[in-house]
Amino acid sequence: MRLSRYFLPVLKENPAEAQIASHRLMLRAGMIKQQQAGIYSWLPLGFKVLRRIEEIVHEEQIRAGHLPVLMPTLQPADLWQESGRYDAYGPEMLRITDRHGRDMLYGPTNEEMITDIFRAHVESYKSLPMTLYHIQWKFRDEVRPRFGVMRGREFYMKDGYSFDLTKEDALHAYNRHMVAYLRTYERMGLTAIPMRADSGPIGGDNTHEFLVLAPTGESEVFYDAKVPELHLGDREVDYDDKDAVAEICKEFTSLYARTDETHDEALFNDLPEDRRCTARGIEVGQIFYFGTKYSEAMGATVNSPEGKKVPVEMGSHGIGVSRLVGALIEANHDEKGIIWPEGVTPFHCGIVNLKQGDAACDSACDGLYAALKKAGLDPLYDDRSERAGAKFATMDLIGLPWRITVGPRGIAANKVELTSRRTGESEEMSAEVAVARIVDIYEAHR
Ligand code: P5A
């Protein structure tokens, strides 16, 4: 993409309404525009990151054997009356009436609708295990929408629903989600810690939240200092192997890690003092096992091997896809702007032409741009006739991890400059070597 043809409405001033870095930087970098409290349009740069996160979530769900579907945002009230949640959900639910006077709602979550799909089509235990998921907009009329996309009213969520014959199988689905989530967050360059939590309006008594540590997080968390050191890395996972998957979950959940809702002071104090950590965290996902809560209420049964009709065992599993954009920025920024991890960056590399209109510089930049595109990468070329300082400031603000700078002096010596946004370190090299380096870097992130 050439910046002269892009829509990147960056703001020079800090927007007064933004209290935290991610909100401020998303507005300043022209990623989003607020349309109403807690409701945002996603502009090209923001939308690219949202799509990238969505892509990683899809890939890891499919790797775990889960099936993508798409359910509507609007739901009929009667399904929620069947489960008993229509009244229980309270003022957070946006209720709508259509022209025929039928009660509808903008879905805050989809347990009822997926149970309805299941009961319409699945009869036998032989169809199990099955996990259906989608990535779809949700609406929760939060009392205090704040911090931009972190606590929105309309927000983008991945929500998956597992169906199993037995509790044991349902717990395997829970574990499978935990491992798939760990991998998903790691691919984005995030450490998200599973913590024992409270189930709230979704229900059930087995639930973990995934928290990214950040001073601006809304939750207070307590954990063993050894927990953030755990990493899944690139180990092979066979998602059908119950014991292997359970073993990984044990590794990640045996050490103390809880949110304030389930915090147990006595247990925490059993830890050596220098390992007792208290911090704040951003909840970027939550998994639930709730057994037959919805299947019993809504008549979702399967024929068991013994020929009996039994309510199906269920769980639901969510990732805050739009919230992750904010969480990623909270975890990756400095005073100049965003620093995207390679896994989610909107463009792989920036190209800055220090002397637009100079034949040698223009031709070197065009060559770099073409070579990066040819290698399957997506560069952003700042081809505007701006001062060098303004170009650098824009690149630093939007946070592409790598920048190639092309200037007349360098080009005369067949050199360009490759700069890391994270470390600020620059190195001179030929254009060919710079392209090869960028290609290698992203090869490692495929
Ligand atoms: C699990 C999937 C559920 O709704 N039902 C379907 C279950 N869980 S949850 O924890 O309530 O939400 C899942 C994730 O969505 C994000 N989230 C939000 N993001 C932005 N703004 C909000 N107002 C908001 N509310 C929830 C969180 O990341 C949460 O973990």
Residue 149 pLDDT greater than 90, yes or no: yes
Average pLDDT of the residues in 246-262? 96
Residues with Cβ within 6 A of ligand 1?
109, 140, 142, 151-152, 155, 157, 159, 202, 283-286, 288, 316-318, 320, 322-323
Rounded (10°) CA dihedral 421, 423, 427, 432: -50
CA 138 / ligand 1 centre spacing (Å): 9
Ligand 1 centroid vs 186 CA: distance in angstroms? 19
Average pLDDT, the chain: 97
**Topology, domain 3-337:** BirA Bifunctional Protein; domain 2 (3.30.930)
* CA pair distance 157, 108, nearest whole angstrom: 10
Q: Give the pair of three-digit tokens for residue 311.
A: 């309510």
In which band, very low, low, confident or very high, does the pLDDT at 445 lie, cut at 50, 70 and 90?
confident
Stretch 204-218: mean pLDDT, rounded?
92
What's residue 412's pLDDT? 96
| Residue 434 predicted with pLDDT over 90 | yes
**Which among 384, 375, 442 has a CA at the least distance from the CA of 8?**
384
Beta bridge partners of 132: 67, 161
The confidence score (pLDDT) of residue 374 equals: 98
Instruction: Extract the tokens encoding 135.
Output: 């990535």
Model confidence at 230, pLDDT cuts 50, 70, 90, reads: very high
Q: Do 142 and 92 contact (CB within 8 A), yes or no?
A: yes
All CATH 3.40.50.800 domain ranges in the chain, comma separated: 347-443
Q: Please choose from 144, 196, 323 the residue to mutate so as to test ligand 1's pocket, defined by most ligand atoms within 8 A of CB.
A: 323
CA–CA separation, 161 vs 287, rounded Å? 10
205-210 mean pLDDT: 91
pLDDT for the residue numbered 446: 72
For the chain, give the secondary structure using H, E and C.
CEHHHCCCCCCCCCCCCCCCHHHHHHHHCCCEEEEECCEEEECHHHHHHHHHHHHHHHHHHHHCCCEECCCCCEEEHHHHHHHCHHHHCHHHCEEEECCCCCEEEECCCCHHHHHHHHHHHCCEHHHCCEEEEEEEEEECCCCCCECHHHECCEEEEEEEEEEECCHHHHHHHHHHHHHHHHHHHHHCCCCEEEEECCCHHHCCCEEEEEEEECCCCCEEEEEECCHHHCCCCCCCCCCCCHHHHHHHHHHHHCCCEEECCCCCHHHHHCCCHHHEEEEEEEEEEEEEEEECHHHHHHCCEEECCCCCEEECEEEEEEEEHHHHHHHHHHHCEECCEECCCCCCCCCCEEEEECCCCCHHHHHHHHHHHHHHHHCCCCEEEECCCCCHHHHHHHHHHHCCCEEEEECHHHHHCCCEEEEECCCCCEEEECHHHHHHHHHHHHHCCC
pLDDT band at 200 (very low <50, low <70, confident <90, very high): confident
Using the mean position of ligand 1's atoms as its centre, give its distance from the Cα of residue 343 in Å: 23
pLDDT in tens, 58-99: 999 999 999 999 999 999 999 999 999 999 999 999 999 999
| Band of residue 363 on the pLDDT scale cut at 50, 70, 90 | very high
Contact 426, 352 (CB under 8 A): no
Q: How far is the CA of 286 from the centre of ligand 1 (A)?
A: 7
Mean pLDDT of 259-284: 96
Tokens 């509790």 — which residue? 167
Probe ligand 1: pick from 149, 202, 286, 321, max atoms within 8 Å of CB? 286
pLDDT score for 168: 97
Mean pLDDT of 350-360: 97
Query: How far apart are the CA of 309 and the centre of ligand 1, in A?
Result: 32
pLDDT for 315 equals: 97
Could you identify the residue written with the tokens 């807690």?
Answer: 38
Per-residue pLDDT averaged across 368-387, rounded? 97
Question: Please, which pLDDT band fits residue 360 given cuts at 50, 70 and 90?
Answer: very high
- From the CA of 271, how far away is ligand 1's center (Å)? 31
CATH 3.30.930.10, the chain: domain bounds = 3-337
- How confident is the model at residue 61, as a pLDDT? 98
Residue 125 has pLDDT above 90, yes or no: yes
Prediction pTM value: 0.97
Instruction: Report CA(155)–ligand 1 centroid distance (Å).
Output: 9
Ligand 1 atom closest to the Cα of residue 324 is: 28
pLDDT of residue 335: 96
Q: How confident is the model at residue 161 (pLDDT cuts 50, 70, 90)?
A: very high
Local confidence band at 7 (pLDDT 50, 70, 90 cut-offs): very high
pLDDT of the residue at 201:
79
pLDDT band at 333 (very low <50, low <70, confident <90, very high): very high
For residue 284, the ligand 1 atom closest to its alpha carbon is 28
Residue percentage of the chain with pLDDT more than 70 = 100
Instruction: Assign domain 347-443 to a CATH class.
Output: alpha beta
Q: Give, using CA atoms, the residue closest to atom 27 of ligand 1.
A: 320
Q: Is the pLDDT reported for residue 198 higher than 90? A: no
Band (204; pLDDT cuts 50, 70, 90): confident
